[in-house]
Every structure is written in structure tokens, then in C-alpha cells.
Structure 1
Amino acid sequence: MKKILTICCLSIFFLSCEAQPDPTSFSTDALNDTFVNSEGESVTLQSILDSHKGKTILIDVWASWCRDCIVGLPNLKKLQEEHAEVVYLFLSMDKTQKSWKAGIKKYEIEGEHYFMPSGWDGVFSDFIDLDWIPRYMIVDKDGKIKLFRAVKISDPKIKEHLK
């Protein structure tokens, strides 16, 4: 009887600890977080997303010092060729705007670029539970997050959500 009771209690515990589903929309705080565009202007995530309403967006959180980010660039560029209709937003975790801009130039990264002044400690980073870069997300034409977490550009879920 003790064994059955223990199994029941453990089952209830593990079922109650089930992982929460990934969010399908950005929080208000994340939408109000600010980024810096290539002209040095401060813009909110909301304004960035609004400028691409009706389009599929691939978000790439990266940094020029990140080995995994750089190693994935050839596959990302191939993806850009295959899905030219997609908007590619690059959100940089570089420590300075100078290194951010130098990285874009050095690696010839095509797309729309923003610098994250708050870095790992910002509202956006907290919202996406950022613990690793690169980090890829897909936002669909309706502004819904279709893919919340991918850490490799070769993740098959990325192509699946770009179709």
C-alpha cells in the first residue's frame, strides 16, 4: 500500500511540474524594450515588428564574438537565398556598438540590424529566457511567435515554420 501511495504522490508531483508552453505573443514589456538601429536611434520592439506587419520574420539574437553564431552564418545565408521573402532581424548582444557594426561588416550579414543596449539583462532577454546565443525565433505574418526557441540555424523547425 505504501508503494502505491508513493507512486501516486510522485505522479501528481511530476504532472503538476509540467513545462509551460512557449508563448505565442510578446509581452507588453518585451514589446516596449528598446533597441538601437544602425542610425543610432532608439526604437521599440513593437515599432520594429509593426514595420514588417504581414511578413514572416526570422529573429536572430547573435554577437560578433559568438563562435556558434559565426559558424552558423553560411547556413543562414543559404536560408536567406531560399526564403528571400522573409524579413531577417538581427539583434546583437555585442558589448559595444562599434564591435556590433564591425561584425556586420566583417561577416557581410544581410538583413535588418539592431543593437541590444540592455544585453543579457534586458526585458526582451528575460522574456525569451535567453540563456544561449545564437537564438532563433520565427514570427508569422499575423505577428504570432511560431517558433520560440532554436539554437542552431540547422534546426528543422526553422524551415518548417518558414514554409
Structure 2
Amino acid sequence: MKSIKILVLLLFVCIGCKAQEVPTTFSQAALEDTFTTLDGQEISFQQILTKYQGKTILIDVWASWCKDCLQGLPKVKSLQEQEKNVVYLFLSLDRSIESWKFALEKYGIAGEHYYMQSGRKGDFGSFANLDWIPRYMVVSPEGAISLFRAVKADDPMIIEALK
């Protein structure tokens, strides 16, 4: 009986490990997802990444209605002061372009800004499994995802991935 319990436990552990595999590259669908620039142009996620090729990128998926996102902003601003060579890429899940732009001005958020037209259930959001925001990801200068998931701006994994 004890050996059966151990086998069942090991089976769950193995299944859990498989479920927690994290991607190191973006899916083709995520790369093709369309975002809106501050000046109203459409741009694919692939084009956004290409713009910052060769640089470390911190992606911050956020929204102005998200209390946790707003509480994390001072920590992100602190990161910006500490890690000046990083590109800070903010992807907004705001309900409208107007509220997104208003929040950028109101909170003085410096960085590169794009509006997620497809929302959290679009191709990028589905790839990233956006079940919570804020959501932080780090992309290496080589274009690999070096950190797939962090939900707090002061997560030590972010600092490690940015180095």
C-alpha cells in the first residue's frame, strides 16, 4: 500500500514537472500578433522584438485599471534606474487606447509602449498564459526568453535575468 502511494506521488510530480516547462522562444502566432504604437500604427510583436534586437528586454504586461500593476510601477522605475541598458517594453491591456495613453501621462511611465489589440486571450496573451497581471518577462540580447513568468517587479528572478 505504501509503495502504491509513493508511485502515485511520483506520477503527480512527473506530470507537474512536464506541465511547468517554460518556452525559451516565442510561438509564431505570438510573433504575428498585432499591437498598436503610440502614434496609432499597427506593428507585429516580431517587428517590436526586431527593433530592440541585441538588447536585453524587460516586458511588463500591465493595465491602468490593475491595482497590482500600479503598485509595481515604483519598483519598475527603480529597475530602470539600476539597469539603464535594458529596454523596458510595456504592453498594455487597457480597455481603450484613450485610457492607456492617459495612464502613461498620469503615471509618467518611461519606456517603449504598445497597446495589445488582441487582449489577454489573443495570440500573444495565450502564448504567455496571461492569467495574472502585472506579468514580467525578460528577453535576452540573443532573442531567447530568459524569464517567462514573474508577477512582482521586485522578484529576484528578474534581476538575475537582467544580468
TM range (shorter): over 0.9
Please tell me whether residue 88 in structure 1 is matched to residue 97 in structure 2.
no
Using the TM superposition, give the Cα deviation of residue 8 of structure 1 relative to its aligned residue in structure 2, in angstroms: 5.3
Using the TM superposition, give the Cα deviation of residue 16 of structure 1 relative to its aligned residue in structure 2, in angstroms: 3.9
| Unpaired segments ≥5 residues, structure 1 | none
1:3-152 → structure 2 map (5 Å cutoff): 3-4=1-2, 6-7=4-5, 9-11=7-9, 13-17=11-15, 18=17, 19-152=19-152
State percent identity of aligned pairs: 53
Q: 1: CA distance between counterparts of 2:141 and 2:112? A: 17
Count of matched residue positions in the alignment of Structure 1 and Structure 2: 161
| Structure index of larger Rg | 1
The CA RMSD over aligned residues, in Å, is 1.2
Instruction: String of CA shifts for 1:37-69, please: whole Å, max 9, x gaps.
Output: 011011000000001110000000000111111
TM-score using structure 1 length: 0.94
Using the TM superposition, give the Cα deviation of residue 104 of structure 1 relative to its aligned residue in structure 2, in angstroms: 0.3
| Unpaired segments ≥5 residues, structure 2 | none
2:136 match: secondary structure: strand
2:114 match: secondary structure: strand
Using the TM superposition, give the Cα deviation of residue 137 of structure 1 relative to its aligned residue in structure 2, in angstroms: 0.4
Using the TM superposition, give the Cα deviation of residue 14 of structure 1 relative to its aligned residue in structure 2, in angstroms: 1.4
2:120 match: secondary structure: helix
1:72 match: secondary structure: helix
2:146 match: secondary structure: strand
**Structure 1 residue ranges, 4+ long, deviating more than 6 angstroms after superposition:** none
Q: 2: CA distance between counterparts of 1:15 and 1:149? A: 20
Q: 2: CA distance between counterparts of 1:87 and 1:48? A: 11
Q: 2: CA distance between counterparts of 1:159 and 1:12? A: 33
